[in-house]
Amino acid sequence: MKHTPAIRVLAALAALLMTAPLAACAGDNAGTTDTTASAVTTAAPTSNEQAETQPPVDENGFLLDNLPADLSYGGATLTVLADEGQKKQYFAEDLTGDIVNDALYERERTVEERLGVNLEWNFIKGAWANRDSFAQTVEQSVQAGSQDYDLVVAYNLTPPVLAVKGVLENLNDMKYIEVDQPWWPQTYVEQALYDDKLYCLAESSSRGVLRNMPAVFYNKELTEQYGMNDLLQVALDGDWTLDKLGELIKGTYRDLNGNNTVDAEDQFGLSVGAVAWLDAFFYGSGLTITKVNEQGNPELTLGDEKVQTYIDKILPFLNESPDVYPLDAKQYQMFKSGRAVFYVSTIAITDQLRDVDINYGVMPMPKFDANQEAYHTTMSNTHDVWCIPINGKNTEAAGAALEALASGSYRQVYPAYYETALKVKYAPDDQIAQVYDMIRAGVMFDFGYIYSNCFDRMPALYVRDCVQKNDPNWSSVWAAQKDSMTLKLDEILKALAD
Query: pLDDT tens for residues 306-337?
Result: 999 999 999 999 999 999 997 766 788 889 99
Output the CA–CA distances (angstroms, integers) from residue 30 to 128, 423, 435, in the order listed: 37, 13, 8
CATH C-level class of 214-378+455-483: alpha beta
pLDDT for the residue 19:
39
Does the domain formed by 5-211+382-441 have CATH 3.40.190.10?
yes
Give the closest residue to 18 by CA, choosing from 193, 186, 236.
186
Give the closest residue to 155 by CA, choosing from 189, 184, 125.
125
Angle ∠(317,319,325) on CA atoms, nearest 5: 100
On whether the CB atoms of residues 210 and 440 are closer than 8 A, the answer is yes
pLDDT in tens, 214-231: 999 999 999 999 999 899
pLDDT for the residue 50:
44
Domain with CATH 3.40.190.10 in the chain: 5-211+382-441, 214-378+455-483
Residues 6+ apart with CB under 8 A from 247: none
pLDDT for the residue 322:
92
| Element containing residue 259 per DSSP (H, E) | none
Output the CA–CA distances (angstroms, integers) from residue 348 to 98, 217, 387, 422, in the order listed: 16, 12, 24, 10
The average confidence (pLDDT) of the chain is: 89
- Structural Rg of the chain based on CA atoms: 23
pLDDT for the residue 382:
87
pLDDT in tens, 357-414: 899 999 999 999 999 999 999 998 889 999 999 989 999 999 999 999 999 999 999 9
CA distance 65 to 72: 15
pLDDT in tens, 151-190: 999 999 999 999 999 999 999 999 999 999 999 999 999 9
Give, to the nearest 10 degrees, the angle between helix 305-319 and helix 474-497: 120
**Torsion from C-alpha of 37, 38, 44, 49, nearest 10 degrees:** 20
pTM beyond 0.75: yes
On whether the CB atoms of residues 180 and 193 are closer than 8 A, the answer is no
Low-confidence stretches of the chain (pLDDT beneath 50): 2-51
On whether the CB atoms of residues 126 and 154 are closer than 8 A, the answer is yes
Give, to the nearest 10 degrees, the angle between helix 474-497 and helix 459-469: 160
On whether the CB atoms of residues 343 and 328 are closer than 8 A, the answer is no
Residue 153 one-letter amino acid: V
| Element containing residue 414 per DSSP (H, E) | helix 414-414
CA distance 347 to 362: 9
pLDDT for the residue 14:
38
Residues 6+ apart with CB under 8 A from 54: 41, 45
